[in-house]
Structure 1
Amino acid sequence: MPTEYSHGGTSVPETKAVTHPVVTGGHRSDLDDMRATFDAFRETNEERLAEIETRGAVDPLTQDKLAHIDAQLDRQQRRLDAMALKSSRPPRGAGPDEPGDTTALQHKGAFVSYMRKGQEDGLRALEQKALSVGSDPDGGYLVPDETETAILRGMTSVSPIRAIAGARQVSSSVFKKPFSISGPQSGWVAETAARPQTGAPTLSELAFPTMELYAMPAATPSLLEDAAVDVDAWIAEEVELAFAEQEGTAFVTGDGVNKPRGFLDYPRVAEASWSWGNLGQLTSGVDGAFPASDPGDVLIDLVYALKAGYRQNAGFVMNRRTQAVVRKMKDADGNYLWQPPATVGAPATLMTFPLTEAEDMSDIATDAPAIAFGDFRRGYLVVDRTGVRILRDPYSAKPYVLFYTTKRVGGGVQDFDAIKLLTFSA
């Protein structure tokens, strides 16, 4: 059913169709616990509002109780996210009797020998056969395709912006994308009239260079000698979280110097004077805060600053401290704008739009762009250069064996009209 929001006396319907996974077993119990916690949150917040109305101040005990419940909601959301991530991970590695590509199996076997014992002859021969560039041991060796896929899948689940952004894999160091700023050139003519030449489109070339990201997990000799340990799964699990944390920060605030450029690093202009190359922003009307009355109207203005073509697949991005503030907001009918996830693996929603929690977003402060709203799949592009390389180092940290693992990734805004920001200023 459509949900209506009251804005300036006019009811504005917004309908979104969302598909979610089925919840079973223990996941349902955890989801029910979160819903019960949110019910307690609503009751306590109503007490807080009643105290403000009757006494002009909030009882400290009520404030502490609300903060405790708010923190509990955050913990339950993280638990649900962890469950969804764990259940989404497919089994890594194939048994020796399973069918598969001969070259892939040879690569996997040679990779395991290199990881466990440092035997690099097999990998060197395979990479030279494939005409790989830089197949000498000083540059490291490519991990099997299966391991690379597992690393990227894990990073997508953990890195908040990668999970909602567009993605492209390339084999070169820079991805260049032409973009028509003025749109397609066309016009209307009569059936027998002359066809005048249309104006040339205004094109802009966007360049997304890939930068090197590295991690250096360490292993003990006993771990590598243990035949029961799946070294593919071990290295994937060790590096995917480290990679995800680093790139998650870069995709939000990165300055583009030896790292991807985050969307908050681009110039911001008032939405009324928006132009290509800038991100449009709205202001809250109050320095460092939401307005005291009808704060939800600011969020409605932000939603409808985005064109309809982008809005259908749009969502909010903010950190947990900002989310704690909007969690207390209600519409004109007394319904809370924030709602807990409908199913495990689904995000919380704000005004029916999915909400992505990115800790690198700004806190609510004067002139801070603390809330972003947009279609990030069209607005922000993550570029992955194919190939994850590993260099085994048994010498630098004896008795441990270090695995210098690198991949190349870039990122930046690809459609400046697809993302809008809310800045907390007058």
Structure 2
Amino acid sequence: DPNDIVTKAIGDLTETVNKRLDEIEEKTDTSKLEERLDKIEAKSNRAKGSDDDSDEQAEIEKKAFGCYLRHGNQTPPDDLKALTVSSDPQAGYLAPAEMSTEFVRDLVEFSPIRSVASVRGITGPSVKYPKRTGITNAQWEGETEEAEESTVTFGQLEVVPHKITTFVDISNELLSDSGGTAEAEVRMALAEDFGKKEGTAFVNGTGAGQPEGLMTHADIEEWLNGHATNLSADQMIKLMYDLPAMYRNAGTWMMNGTTLGIVRTLKDGDGRMLWQPSFQAGQPETILGRPVVEAVDMPDLESGSFPILYGDFSAYRIVDRLSMSILSDPYTQARKGVTRMHATRRVGGRVLQAARFRKLKMATS
């Protein structure tokens, strides 16, 4: 029957069209397009180094460092790859970036001199600074007179970094069971110890096997207080203005907390307080309009002591040769079940220009 043939042909055509429409709809499925776009975006983020990848990498480095503390050179190769190899001749592995940041932050807290001094990083065993020790000798001459020759003398100042080191024995069981807490405590203990030792050296260091301190430099001029125990406001003002204006206007006071408490009670001849609080967040308190650094290593108000230093601290140079190197030794004390961690730091300090400082002496003559 012709009608049946036509009906069958129409049915076959409709089925073919519906299948084709289903294929088109499947290819244009929005959910699958979104899935493909998500995959492309994920690949792009990995190439750029997204925050999630950075956090994941930091966690891998932290776990690898903890594994190295426990196993030393027996650490699996995959964990060793996650560590940063130290360039120090003694070899070893540096702490992950997060740990190094904690060290720097703690050192600033315990060494306030770093916040005002000039700090440089070096790669050699020392650094030398050329120094001009004199000026020319110009003279007034007549119209037909010949000029006189002058000479300029030069010298050198060398700043040598010195090594400060210690080691800590820590139980292998404690390292395994603490979940990273023991490592954090070791980091904090080292930071506190190294920071305190540095701060003391920057103030009172002898320069022999340690940095030269500000208060031990023989060429810094002293200003007499006029009394052995009672602090004089007038003498502090005179000490400040004894410096040339260029150094005075860039100066900073340094004293300990006990002395600072006494200075807060002093007034000038017109009854104005020498000390003024900070009126803006992040700004330091001031004495006679200049900032003050509280250094715990400065001496108290005693007869013959030097409790106050004023000057331009950019003339005190701190050089860092090695920030903080930690070397794990799981073998030496293996019979005792402990891992020995060696910590080393190399730093130097020296006064480059004594003329930029003045120190107050508690004495009458």
TM-score normalised over the length of structure 2? 0.71
1:319 to 226, 249, 256: 256
Matches within 5 A, 1:20-35: none
Q: 1:142 — aligned with what?
A: 94
Q: 1 CA distance for matches of 2:245 and 2:267?
A: 24
Larger Rg: 2
- 2:50 is aligned with 1:97: no
Q: 2:72 — aligned with what?
A: 118
SS in 2 for 1:369: coil
Extract unaligned runs of 5+ from structure 2. Answer: 1-49
Q: 1:348 — aligned with what?
A: 285
Q: 1:151 — aligned with what?
A: 103
Does the 8 Å CA contact 1:223/1:229 hold for their aligned counterparts?
Answer: no
Question: What residue identity is the alignment partner of 1:97?
Answer: D
Q: 1 CA distance for matches of 2:151 and 2:101?
A: 42
- 2:320 is aligned with 1:389: no
Q: 1:52 — aligned with what?
A: none
Q: 2:224 — aligned with what?
A: 283
After superposition, the Cα gap between the structure-2 partners of 1:131 and 1:160, relative to the gap in structure 1 and judged at 3 Å, is: closer
Does the 8 Å CA contact 2:200/2:297 hold for their aligned counterparts?
Answer: yes
SS in 2 for 1:287: coil
- In the TM superposition, what is the alpha-carbon distance from 1:325 to its structure 2 partner? 2.0
After superposition, the Cα gap between the structure-2 partners of 1:391 and 1:180, relative to the gap in structure 1 and judged at 3 Å, is: same
Question: What residue identity is the alignment partner of 1:385?
Answer: R
2:246 to 298, 302, 309: 309
- Percent identical among aligned pairs is 30
- 2:248 is aligned with 1:248: no
Question: What residue identity is the alignment partner of 2:242?
Answer: A
- In the TM superposition, what is the alpha-carbon distance from 1:131 to its structure 2 partner? 6.7
Matches within 5 A, 1:216-227: 216-217=167-168, 219-221=170-172, 224-225=175-176
**What is the aligned residue count?**
310
After superposition, the Cα gap between the structure-2 partners of 1:373 and 1:134, relative to the gap in structure 1 and judged at 3 Å, is: same
Q: 2:120 — aligned with what?
A: 168
Matches within 5 A, 1:403-414: 403-414=341-352
SS in 1 for 2:208: coil
SS in 2 for 1:168: strand
After superposition, the Cα gap between the structure-2 partners of 1:165 and 1:298, relative to the gap in structure 1 and judged at 3 Å, is: same
1:332 to 266, 269, 282: 269
Q: 1 CA distance for matches of 2:110 and 2:227?
A: 34
Q: 2 CA distance for matches of 1:96 and 1:234?
A: 27
After superposition, the Cα gap between the structure-2 partners of 1:321 and 1:348, relative to the gap in structure 1 and judged at 3 Å, is: same
Does the 8 Å CA contact 2:103/2:187 hold for their aligned counterparts?
Answer: yes
Does the 8 Å CA contact 2:65/2:83 hold for their aligned counterparts?
Answer: no
Please list the CA deviations of residues 82-110 of structure 1 after superposition, one character each: whole Å capped at 9, or x if unmatched: xxxxxxxxxxxx9871189x9x9997675
Does the 8 Å CA contact 2:69/2:339 hold for their aligned counterparts?
Answer: no
Q: 2 CA distance for matches of 1:288 and 1:129?
A: 55
- 2:89 is aligned with 1:133: yes
Q: 2 CA distance for matches of 1:166 and 1:240?
A: 21
Cα RMSD for the two superposed structures: 4.0
- In the TM superposition, what is the alpha-carbon distance from 1:299 to its structure 2 partner? 0.8
Q: 2 CA distance for matches of 1:98 and 1:232?
A: 22
Does the 8 Å CA contact 2:138/2:148 hold for their aligned counterparts?
Answer: no
After superposition, the Cα gap between the structure-2 partners of 1:414 and 1:145, relative to the gap in structure 1 and judged at 3 Å, is: farther
Question: What residue identity is the alignment partner of 1:342?
Answer: F
Does the 8 Å CA contact 1:380/1:411 hold for their aligned counterparts?
Answer: yes
TM-score normalised over the length of structure 1? 0.62
SS in 2 for 1:162: helix
